[in-house]
Amino acid sequence: MTNTRKPLELQIIEADITHLQLDAIVNAANHSLLGGGGVDGAIHRAAGPELLAHCKTLGGCATGQAKLTPGFRLPARFIIHTVGPVWHGGHQQEPELLASCYRQSLQLAEQQGLHSIAFPAISCGVYGYPLEQAARIAVTTIHAFSRQAHSLRQVYLVAFDDRMRTLLEKTLSEHAR
């Protein structure tokens, strides 16, 4: 019998993640899950106060872990909240923890049988992760996961500016070689 399962497709887009109509978007949250600045603030504003009320029941989230909520007023059906590592120079398990954010989020999406998911550049804002290293971890972790993906078909890495888009595209094309 031939295997008709489509491979997982990874695409880079430049967008406001809160506008994406997908099965899930990922939030670069903090431990409290109660909102913050950057993409976290934008997601809470767009999802509405129901999101904060729901997050208050979740008991926070550890670095490298992920938790799922409904998307509430967002076009996306679900939000996967993950807590990226703060960059302290690279010797406090930052690479492992950042990879874990991507892996755990993808695993949650698979458990829900989702087809599409979009990630922001986790830890690349106020958490200060060096952008090139973070981009490499994002691309390699998603590629490694693609072998065990069943429901997921499309994964988007979302850049919020031109610089991040160029960097992600370069990283993806280098990885494909």
Q: Which residues are catalytic?
A: 40
Q: Which is nearer to ligand ADP, 31 or 115 (CB)?
A: 31
Q: How many CB atoms lie within 10 A of CB 74?
A: 22
Select from 12, 24, 98, 122 the one that contacts ligand ADP (CB under 6 A). 122
**Choices 48-56, 66-74, 121-129, 147-155 (CB under 6 A): range interacting with ligand ADP:** 121-129
The DSSP code sequence of 98-145 is: HHHHHHHHHHHHHHTT-SEEEE--TTSSTT---HHHHHHHHHHHHHHH
One character per residue 38-67, x = contact with ligand ADP (rule: CB under 6 A): xxx-x-------------------------
Query: Do residues 173 and 143 lie in contact, with contact meaning Cβ atoms separated by under 8 Å?
Result: no
Amino acid at 127: Y
Q: Is 125 in the site for ligand ADP (CB under 6 A)?
A: yes
Q: How many CB atoms lie within 10 A of CB 112?
A: 16
Closest by Cα among 173, 95, 165 to 134 = 95
The helix or strand, by DSSP H or E, that contains position 83, with its residue range, turns out to be strand 78-83
Q: How far is the CB of 101 from ligand ADP (least distance, A)?
A: 9
**Choices 5-13, 35-43, 56-64, 149-157 (CB under 6 A): range interacting with ligand ADP:** 35-43
Q: Is 95 in the site for ligand ADP (CB under 6 A)?
A: no
Closest by Cα among 70, 66, 71 to 81 = 66
Q: Is 123 in the site for ligand ADP (CB under 6 A)?
A: yes
Q: Is 158 in the site for ligand ADP (CB under 6 A)?
A: yes
Residue ranges that bind ligand ADP, judged by CB under 6 A: 16-18, 28, 38-40, 42, 84, 120-127, 158, 160, 164
